[in-house]
Amino acid sequence: MALLDVRELWVSYGGVRALKGVSLAVEEREVVAVVGPNGSGKTTLLRATAGITPHQRGSICFASRELTGLPAYRRARLGLIYTPERARVAPELTVLENLRVGALLLRDAQKARATLEEVFALFPCLAQKKHYPAGVLSGGEKQMLLIGRALMAQPRMLLLDEPFFGLSTGMKQVLSQVIRTLPQKGVTVLFSEHDLKAATSLAGRIYGFCQGRIIFAGSSAEFLRSNAAQRIYA
Ligand SMILES: Nc1ncnc2c1ncn2[C@@H]1O[C@H](COP(=O)(O)OP(=O)(O)O)[C@@H](O)[C@H]1O
Ligand SMILES: [Mg+2]
Q: 4-232 belongs to which homologous superfamily?
A: P-loop containing nucleotide triphosphate hydrolases (3.40.50.300)
What stretches in the chain show pLDDT beneath 50?
A: none
Phi-psi region of 212 (alpha: psi -120 to 50; beta: other; left: phi over 0): left
Dump pLDDT digits (tens) for 133-151. Answer: 999 999 999 999 999 999 9
49 lines ligand 1 (CB under 6 A): no
Residue with the nearest Cα to atom 1 of ligand 1?
A: 13
Probe ligand 1: pick from 44, 55, 211, max atoms within 8 Å of CB? Answer: 44
Name 25's Cβ contacts closer than 8 Å, sequence gap at least 6.
Answer: 2, 4, 5, 6
**pLDDT score of 71:** 97
pLDDT of residue 214: 97
Ligand 1 probe mutation, 11, 19, 40, most atoms within 8 A of CB: 40
Q: How many CB atoms lie within 10 A of CB 172?
A: 21
Q: 10, 13, 52: which to mutate for ligand 1, most atoms within 8 A of CB?
A: 13
Q: Are 6 and 49 in contact (CB under 8 A)?
A: yes
- Find out whether 152 and 116 touch, Cβ atoms under 8 Å: yes
Residue 187: name the closest of 163, 159, 161, 157 by CA: 157
Nearest to 161 by CA among 74, 36, 66: 36
Q: How far is the CA of 12 from the centre of ligand 2 (A)?
A: 15
Determine the distance separating the centroid of ligand 2 and the alpha carbon of 105, expressed in angstroms: 26
pLDDT in tens, 80-115: 999 999 889 999 999 999 999 988 877 788 888 999
Ranges of each domain in the chain: 4-232
User: Does any ligand 1 atom lie closer than 6 A to the CB of residue 13?
Assistant: yes
Q: What order of strands is seen across the sheet that includes strand 57-62? A: 16-26, 4-13, 57-62, 65-66
Decide whether any atom of ligand 1 lies within 6 Å of the 16 Cβ.
Answer: yes
